[in-house]
Amino acid sequence: MEAFFAGLPLADVHQDLARNIKSIRVSQNLFDDLSDDPADWEIAQQHELATKPHTYESPTTLIDRPFEEAHWLNAIEFPFRNWASSRFCDGSFGIWHGSDKVETTVYETVHHWRYRFLADAGFDELVTRGTRDSITGERKVYWVRCDAALLDLRARAAEYPDLAHPASYHFTQQIGARLHRESHPGFVTPSARCEGENYGVLNRNVLSAPRACCSLTYQLTREGVAVEREAGQTWMVLA
């Protein structure tokens, strides 16, 4: 591991990154089960806004609220509060993942959605055997600004193929554990699913300006996963 880090260059990153998360295309009213009267819903929403403490406020609150907090929590804060295992993390700390392009996030998340979520639950087999015609999932992509000097793992890609191993995370989780322990802001690394690049951020302070990019629909069929960006129109198909 010492040889891997020796002379590792930095990438001075100042750009928007794409963050792809589970979501829904059409927002749901959280108070419609309390009353059938829309006026009651409005009262409940106003009460929540007046009494709930804000976890984040932008410098232009009159312009951004009420979307600022939701965007911040969904696009940036969530993985730092809800730790989970991933390629570079064993689940013992928070790490934020983003990509250079929306397309890269699709390749990454389709793989995990199909082979780690649907397959674990047995849904993948239902479709491949023909028991069900399809399985549908909805997601949302945000643009998030990143300004940081990140360790550039791309410089080691040819020498260390385990950086992009399709299934084993043993080597990369050791990298993530050291970066977290030594308080590095993050890294940039080649994607294991396509020709794109992924970014792992360990310090939320280098992320800012979250805003919605697009909604996506994934549909697993026997032919693969069809991805819609505009509802009803196939954008990508991953076999």
Higher pLDDT, 41 or 111: 111
ω into 38 cis (within 30 of 0): no
Strand 186-190 relative to strand 135-152, pairing:
parallel
Using only C-alpha atoms, the chain has a radius of gyration, in whole angstroms, of 20
Contact 217, 227 (CB under 8 A): yes
Residue with the two structure tokens 């360790």: 151
pLDDT tens per residue across span 46-70: 655 556 555 545 555 444 445 567 8
Q: What is the dihedral of CA 98, 202, 68, 229, to 10 degrees?
A: 10
pLDDT tens per residue across span 106-165: 999 999 998 888 877 777 777 777 777 788 999 999 999 999 999 999 999 999 999 999
**What's the pTM value of the predicted model, to 2 decimals?**
0.83
Q: What is the pLDDT of residue 29?
A: 56
Q: Torsion-angle region of residue 236: left (phi > 0), alpha (psi -120 to 50) or beta?
A: beta
Q: How far, in Å, CA of 18 to CA of 224, rounded?
A: 23
